[in-house]
Structure formats: C-alpha cells, structure tokens
A and B are shown apart, each in its own frame.
Chain A
Amino acid sequence: MRFGHMLASVAFGFATLASTGAKAVEIEYWQYVFDTRVKAMNQLIAKFQEANPDIKVKQTTFPYADYQTKVAAAILAGQGPDVVQLFYGWTDNFIAGKMIRPLRAEAFPAAEIERDFFPIVSAMKRGNEYYGLPTAVRSLALFYNKKAFKDAGLDPNNPPKTIDELVAAAEKTVKRDGSGNIVSAGMTLDMGGQDHQWWREVLIRQFGGAPYTENDTKVAYNDEAGLKALTFYTDLQKKHKIGQAGFMDEGQAAFRAGLAAMTIDGTFRLGSFGTIKAFEWGVTELPANAQGVRSNYASYFANAITTKAEGEKLAAAEKFLKYVSSPEAMKVWMEVVGELPARREVALTPENVAHPVYGPFLKGLEYAHTTLFKDEAAQRQVAIDMANRVLIGGEDPKTSLAKAAEAEQAIIDRAKR
C-alpha cells in the first residue's frame, strides 16, 4: 500500500513536470553586465513573455572582462545560452568554435535584413548566411566643448565641418603655459581610445586610400594615402601642437575635465558625458575632407543563436531573436541605453535625425564602415605603436607605417589558419 502511494506521487510528480515543460519552454539569454543594457533587456524580456506566455527567458550576465571566455567555455561544455550577445568582431571565432549557428533563411530572409538594416550588418554575413542581428549600433562623432569655443572667439553653433577647419579650431582653442606645455588641448590625441578607428576607417579613406582589401584580410594602407593619413595625425601633435598623446591620461578624461576643446568618441560615451555639469558640449559629424568625402566607423553587439538550442528551444530562440531585433525593441533600447537603432526606418525618423545629439551619429551610420577585426585588441595595439614610434621614438612616419602594416598582416594571417 505504501509502495503504491509512493509510485502514485512519483507519477504525479512526473506529470506536473511534463505539463509545466509543455507549458513553458525556458531559454537562456547571455550578455555582459552593463547597467542600462541589463535593464533594457529585462524590459524586453517582460514584454516578450507577455506576448509569448509559452516561452520563458532567463537572462544571465557576466563582467565584460571574462565574457568571451565564459561563453566559449559554457557552450563547448554543452551548457550556457540559447541566445547570446556577441561583439561583431568575435563572429569568426564563434563560428570556428561551432558556438553559433547561421540564422535560418526562412525565419530571417537575407533580402529583408539587407533592406531594413544599416549596411554595416553585413559584418555578420558569411557566404550567404547571417549569423546574428544587432539591436543597436554605435558610431563616432566629434564632441566639442561649446564654452571653450566661445572663449576662443569661435561660434559654438558652428563646429568644424572639414578636417582643415578642425585643425584651425583646435589651433584657436589650445592653451599653453609659458614654457610651451599644453595646459588645455585643442583636440585629444588618443590612439588607445577611438582615434585608431578614426585613422583606419576615416582618415585613410579621406586621403584617397582604403585600409584593407579582400574582405579585410589584406592590409592595404601601406601606401601614399596611408602615409598622408598618418602624417596628418602625428602632425597634430608634432607640427600644429594642438594636442598631445597621453595628455590627461585619456582623451575622454581630458574632455570631461574641460581641458580639451574637441574629442572623437562614440555613442557609448554619451552616458558618461551626459553627467558633465561644468560646461555645455555639442556633437557634430566627423569632419569631411576638402572634397567633401566623409566616413565613419560603426560597431555593434549582435545577438546570435547558439548551437546548443535545438527543437522547441530553437523555435523559441528564433522568436526571441526576432523580437529583440524588432522596431519595438530598438525603440526601448534607444530610450534606455541610448544606442542607435540598427534598422533604418526606426533610426532615421525626422525627429531622430534632427536630434542635436543622435542626429550626427545617425548621419554617420549611412556611410560608416565596419572593420572585420580578427583580434581587435592586437590590431588596435598595432595602431597605438605606430603612432608612438613617430611621436615618442621620432621615427619617420613611412617606416613606422610599413612596420605597422607588416605586424597587422601577421595578426590577420595567423587568425586565418
């Protein structure tokens, strides 16, 4: 009798388990910890679950520093997320490790993606298949200190439009002490910040070159255009003396402290600069060259479906990915995180384009490039060292450029193996 009782309760237990199992598929979503991103995702998950009561989404977050290692370790161990957030530059690595799967064309038709999203989304495309979609994207713009402009007799509502005007404005706003030391920079020089992107995707193109060829696998900047771009950059310190690499430690710190009139930075800096109380700042598109050629660097975190998701979880993951890359989700993301929507129609509303802060970043997206990094940190280091060889070591730009091209090609070649 007692045995029968036990059996019944076990059977009941299984039945409950099975029924809840049928009621809700639980999928896991992983991203790195960043306050507003987690908050935005929580809102999206709540809305998604309301619309899809049969799916439950569990969000897990990690500090950015360990993020990539942990995701890789978990997926390879057959655990971890069904939907994962990844930097577009990690895509090759994640595909090689069989961690993410291509999006099914029936669920995510390529033609629709290419019609609706900004062209930079192609960085998630391998062959004919897309491996993920972004919710939000980031681009660069020129931040300028309106107070410093006014003090220097410049019009604070008329920021530089060309790189010549940029240099002129910087020359007017820079302040030096009696012995010639810079005490307030006209413009920040910080290759470790966003300047390496500016140099690579913007300046080189504006001087008539291209940073890479063959899908970013061949370094192409070791030529006349690359040399002009590097010389232009290093001359900002050496010839025009409008800024100094390492001044105030970081470019963004100098700008925040009101000790730099201009800096180039990305949308992700808006939150930090938003708390500046001491002065008013403005944003403008990255300056064009004399012929009006503009360029920009855009990047993004995409969401992808992992190889772990199978069967009903795969279906649920696809639904969830569709939702987080929907226009509705992008609006939430922009409000909460302040990042730009990845879909044209959501981003380029007349209201957004006219927005004094978002506007310049959004305009940049139309002509932005996205570098297909193999090892972003190492490739950035190449640019840092290239500038340092000229600025600190006094090497001539041509030699330094050649060394950089060789070093970066070696990094790319090694990753291809």
Chain B
Amino acid sequence: MSAVAHREAASGGLWSRMSLGQKQVIWAWSFLAVPLVFYVVIRFWPTFQAFYLSVTDWTITKPAAFVGLENYWRLFEDPLFWQVFRNTFMYLILGTPISLLISFLVAYYLDRVRFMHSFIRALYFLPFLTTAAAMAWVWRWFYQPVPIGVINDVLSSFGIPQQPFLRSTSQALPAVLAPAVWAGLGFQIIIFLAGLRAIPVTYYEAARIDGLSEGAILRKITLPLLKPTLVFLVVFSSIGFLRIFDQVYNINTNDPGGPLNSTKPLVLMIYQTAFSSYEMGYAAAQTVVLFVILLVISLVQLRLMRDR
C-alpha cells in the first residue's frame, strides 16, 4: 500500500519537476506519435517490404524465395520495359510543358478578366473534379471511327480522311495524353492564379510608371516572381505524368496500354505484372525502378529550379 503511494509521489514528483516547456514537448510528441506510427506502418513499412519483395520470386500462390537481382536483370533485358520506359517519358516530356504552357496562358489572361471570372474559372476546374475513368470512357468514344466518333465525323464532313487515333501506334499516345492534360488544367490554373495574385500590385504600378512594355513586365516581373509556383507545378505535374495510369487503362480496357504497347506507362506494366500475371516479385522490382526514377527526377528538378 505504502509502496504504491511512494511510487505515485515519485512519478508525480518527476512530472511536477518538469518545466512547462518540457511538458509541452511531451504532450506534442504524444499527439504526433499517432500519425507518425500510422504513417510508418501504412506507408514506410510496405515500401521497405516492396524492396524486399523485389529480390524474391513471390507469386502469391508460391512461397517467396530469394533470387537476388534476377528480377532486375530480367527487367533490363525485357524490350517491353524499354518501350514502357520511353512511353512514360513521352508522357512527361509532352505532358508537363504543354499543360503548363496552356494553364499559364489561361491563368495569365483569366487574371485580367473581370466579367464572369469565377464562372470561367469554375468551368476550367470542372474536369479536374471528374473521375478519370468516366472521362477516359467519353474520350474513347470521341476517338472512334465513323459513324460514332465525334472527331472523325467532323473530319470526314470536311472531306479530311478519318484518323485512327487510338488504333495507331503513333497517334495513340498523344490521344491518350490529351484528356489527361485537359483534366489537369483546372488545378494548374488555380495555382497559377493564386501565384499571380500574390505578386504585389505596386511592382506593376512602378513598372508601368517607368514605361515598361507588357512583354517586359511579363519577363522581368511576373515570371521571376512566379518561380516558386512554377517549381511546385513542374514537380507536381511531372510526378503526375510519370505515374499516369487510369487515363490509359480506361481509354483502352480491352487492350490496356495498346495498341502494341504504344501507350503503356510503367505503372500499368506494374499493375499487369502484379494483378494479372501475379508475378509479385517482378512487379516489386518494377516499382523500385519507378521509385528511383521519380526520386531522381524530382531531385534534379528541385536542384535546377531552386533559387540561387
């Protein structure tokens, strides 16, 4: 009885001997621990698990055996991987500049429009709210040959020969990319608008008093001050295009990534390896490669675009 009381007094003593600052730290950490533990268990643990799986031959039904770097060698020797690799970078190289250019132009001019500003902004944002799967299905029908494909109907009514779009190895990737760019525009426009609004009006006033042309204002004031926004959007949209999946998968469900793998991105290859062929080890190796690519590209971009 007395021992318990003694211990209570001692622990109470320890707590009461702490400063307010120390107590605050303990409280803060005990609250932070919950999301931290959650994050470690839900995100980091599976990530490490994926690294481990990538050196095994696990197939769900057969127990995993260590195979060393075999999955990686197989991947680098697989012509499909290199094609998919090229496709993934095509999505990035075409998608990021095109979408940023369009969204900047729209934001730049929308910023000056007062008439129905919010309505127009909402219109641009709407596609971003739409499910990628639903959007892909609608575009899939746009691209059909006559008599049901809207685009080809228009083309042939002008006497232009109909285009194969999704049934062509050269046109399919841009055709898949178009709805993806379109869907992302709304978000990028909003961010650009916020960036533009954050530039103090006084700079512009001063420039105009000094007689600078609109072009010079854009080059000397708007763009440099927009750099943090630009860096964020470049990194964000690059990651988005490197991870493109649902647009591609849904626009061609019968031959995902086709025709002849011309639109297949890395994420889709991973998905098919894991959940269609059940080669989990091989899929994990692909995931690790994607992870490294994403990491390197993000780091390079941040380094190139950071303030000097």
Contact = CB atoms under 8 A, between A and B. Distances in A.
A179 B140 contact: no
B145 A181 contact: yes
A73 B272 CA distance: 18
Nearest to B160: A179
Interface in A185-239: 190, 192-193
A392 B255 contact: no
Interface in B117-149: 140-141, 144-148
B254 A378 contact: no
A244 B146 CA distance: 11
Interface in A70-92: 72-73, 76
A99 interface: yes
B24 interface: no
B258 A96 contact: no
Would you call the interface of chain B mostly helix, strand, loop, or mixed? Answer: loop
B224 interface: no
Interface stretch (A245-253, A286-294, A313-321): A245-253
A249 B167 contact: no
Interface in B157-203: 161-162, 164, 166-169
Contact of A250 (B147, B254, B259): B254
A259 interface: yes
A375 interface: yes
Interface in A333-368: none
A381 B162 CA distance: 27
Given A246-B167, A377-B276, A392-B259, A97 B162 contact: no
A389 interface: yes
Contacts of B164: 246, 392
Contact of B277 (A69, A99, A377): A377
Nearest to A253: B148
Interface string A363-396: 0000000000001011001001100110011000
Contact of A72 (B60, B144, B255): B60
A177 interface: yes
B302 interface: no
A181 B277 contact: no
A177 B166 CA distance: 21
A94 interface: yes
A182 B156 CA distance: 12
Nearest to A178: B156
A183 interface: yes
A93 interface: yes
Contacts of A69: 60, 275, 278
A181 B156 contact: yes
Given A97-B61, A249-B140, A378-B277, A183 B147 contact: yes
A177 B146 contact: yes
